[in-house]
Amino acid sequence: MRIPFDLTNKIAAITGGGSGIGKSVASVFARQGAEVCILDINSESGTKAASDIRKEGGKAHFHACDVGNQQAVLSVFDQIAVVGGSLDILINNAGIAHIGNVETTTEEDMDRVYRVNIKGAYNCLHGAVKKMKKSGGGVILNLASVASVVGISERFAYSMSKGAILTMTYSVAKDYLEDNIRCNAIGPARVHTPFVDGYLEKNYPGREREFFEKLSKTQPIGRMGTPQEIAYLALYLCSDEAGFITGSFYPIDGGFLTLNT
């Protein structure tokens, strides 16, 4: 009998796979049999993430890559295709945050967020779709956010970028139905990653625990999500068991969108 959510013989590219959600996705996918290709601008964390997977018996490779550079992305995808023969799954996870409203967001801030969060996702979509068409199909999962669909204070540039991720998802899903390419998005609320710890340490020194609890309680469920919880939803949506799902958006938010009153 086939094992549910089996990714054996699948090649998965995961951007921002060196830490946080991306690292958890890479680990979970590798445990399910996928050969994971971690793309990250941070060589130290990306190399370690791939090494950790191999130590557990999984298949993993690290590719240093700035997703905002299209030629760099296309070059990495060419390398993946040569080694693995195909690109079956793309996880568009790489992204950066920004805090500020339209007045406090500078042109430089806007350009930086656009380059990574929007252009970076576009570059990967642009390269992956071409590879997937040649090999008969594939699955794309974009990391959107609750900020894609609801207003959040002081997140002007970030919300802009995540709204774009969602609409790109719909467009790709529509355009490539006949090519057997599925494309979906998930929308996390706050997830406890190293970014959160760094943010609290920088902005609330000595009061990290207090503000961690405050941020946690913005989710009606009373806590932040974990990277592993996001990874298991990603696993389902990228598995053959989700073959009837495309062009969809899945919040994973502890009730943030529907239960906040």
The three-state secondary structure class of 3 is coil
Q: What does each of the 261 residues of the chain score in pLDDT, given as a tens digit?
A: 678 999 999 999 999 999 999 999 999 999 999 999 999 999 999 999 999 999 999 999 999 999 999 999 999 999 998 877 889 999 999 999 999 999 999 999 999 999 999 999 999 999 999 999 999 999 999 999 999 999 999 999 999 999 999 999 999 999 999 999 999 999 999 999 988 998 889 889 999 999 999 999 999 999 999 999 999 999 999 999 999 999 999 999 999 999 986
For residue 120, give the nearest of 138, 96, 99, 140 by alpha carbon: 96
In this predicted structure, what is the pLDDT of residue 261?
A: 64
* Catalytic residue check, 236: no
- Using CA atoms, how far apart are residues 106 and 127, in angstroms rounded to an integer? 30
Contact 193, 19 (CB under 8 A): yes
- Catalytic residue of the set 114, 158, 204, 250: 158
In this predicted structure, what is the pLDDT of residue 80?
A: 94
**Residue limits of CATH 3.40.50.720 in the chain:** 11-189+226-253
- Using CA atoms, how far apart are residues 129 and 176, in angstroms rounded to an integer? 8
- Using CA atoms, how far apart are residues 152 and 41, in angstroms rounded to an integer? 28
CB atoms within 10 A of CB 8: 10
HSE of 180 in the Cβ direction (CA atoms, 13 Å)? 10
In this predicted structure, what is the pLDDT of residue 161?
A: 98
The three-state secondary structure class of 170 is helix
Which run of H or E residues covers position 236?
helix 227-238
- Using CA atoms, how far apart are residues 135 and 243, in angstroms rounded to an integer? 17
Q: What is residue 155's DSSP assignment? A: B
| CATH code, residues 11-189+226-253 | 3.40.50.720
In the chain, what is the straight-line distance between the N-terminal and C-terminal CA atoms, in Å?
46
> Computed over its alpha carbons, how large is the radius of gyration of the chain?
18
